[in-house]
Amino acid sequence: MKILVAVKRVVDANFRVRVKSDGSGVELDNVKMSMNPFDEIAVEEAVRLKEKGIATEIVAVSIGPAKAEDTLRQALAMGADRAILVVHDGRAEPLGIAKTLAAIARAEAPDLLLLGKQAIDDDSNQTGQMLAALLGRGQATFASKIEIANGNATVAREVDGGQQTLELTLPAVVTVDLRLNTPRFASLPNIIKARAKPLTKTTPAEFGVDLAPRLTVLKVEEPPVRQAGVIVGSVTELVDKLRNQARVLP
């Protein structure tokens, strides 16, 4: 069983993002970058499936700048067998990413495609769904548990009313949620071994995909500063403020 895992290079989750002075985007110079946390969970799940003897090969894929090689090396250090980097400078939108992943999937013929449910930089939550549609495969999103048996994937996912369980016929596309697992830290020996694992570099043009953005970013701005709280002296005063200032009561 072959698993293809998509990973993305994003601003580190612990780094405070700064908006550019012209409002055209966020500052990426001298900023710590790392693997998207949801994608890290996807890699961990693929490695666990291999450790159980279910998966035989894990292929990590990333679409981004040449520096994304570091992100793929992290996936290799965690346990992926080989990696593919589609080198692309500049902004890429979910549909373009999905088309590129679909082309790679047609060439690699994986039994399972794992992705993070969303990337923490754009929060689009679209790539996995678009990928499944392009490939004509079954999909399950926000997976909190995955079991593979008899050519099927049983996926538990949390919904507003509780938990939903889906059964998919492989090959299929699954996007993962935070509750699925806790990613491991790559050990130093594995980090060293990852340097020798195969990593193929290619371009979107080789797959016949145009990653030129179709959307225009009009403006990026920081959220408004949260106002300080107020201590009220009585329930009557609280109700008055909720009704007349916050306007959350009729």
* Torsion, CA 109, CA 97, CA 129, CA 28, rounded to 10: 130
Give the count of domains, the chain.
Answer: 1
Over its C-alpha atoms, the chain yields an Rg (Å, rounded) of 21
Write down the pLDDT at residue 69: 95
Write down the pLDDT at residue 99: 95
- The reply to whether 242 falls in a domain is no
Q: 3-state secondary structure string, 18-58?
A: CECCCCCCECCCCCCEEECHHHHHHHHHHHHHHHCCCCCEE
Query: What's the farthest any 2 CA atoms get from each other in the chain?
Result: 70
| Separation between Cα atoms, residue 24 and residue 245, nearest integer Å | 34
- Residue-range definition of the domain harbouring residue 44: 2-224
| Separation between Cα atoms, residue 104 and residue 4, nearest integer Å | 9
Is the pLDDT at 238 greater than 80, yes or no?
yes
Q: 131-188: per-residue pLDDT in tens?
A: 999 999 999 999 999 999 999 999 999 888 888 999 999 999 999 999 999 999 989 9
Helices (H), 164-219: 188-194
Q: Which residue carries 């538990």 as its tokens?
A: 156
pTM for the model stands at 0.84
Mean pLDDT of all residues in the chain?
A: 91
3-state class (DSSP) for residue 88:
coil
Write down the pLDDT at residue 17: 82
3-state class (DSSP) for residue 62:
strand
- The reply to whether 209 falls in a domain is yes
- The reply to whether 220 falls in a domain is yes
Q: Give the CATH number of the domain where residue 41 resides.
A: 3.40.50.620
Tokens coding 52? 């159980």
Q: 91-145: per-residue pLDDT in tens?
A: 889 999 999 999 999 999 999 999 999 998 888 899 999 999 999 999 999 999 9
| Separation between Cα atoms, residue 10 and residue 15, nearest integer Å | 11
Q: 45-80: per-residue pLDDT in tens?
A: 999 999 999 999 999 999 999 999 999 999 999 999
pLDDT tier for residue 24 given thresholds of 50, 70 and 90: confident
- The reply to whether 230 falls in a domain is no
Write down the pLDDT at residue 25: 79
| Separation between Cα atoms, residue 156 and residue 141, nearest integer Å | 9
Pairing of strands 33-35, 9-11: antiparallel
Buried residues in 28-56 as b, exposed as e (16+ CB within 10 A): eeeeebbbbbbbbbbbbbbbbbbeeebbe
DSSP 116-158: ES--TTT----HHHHHHHHHT-EEEEEEEEEEEETTEEEEEEE
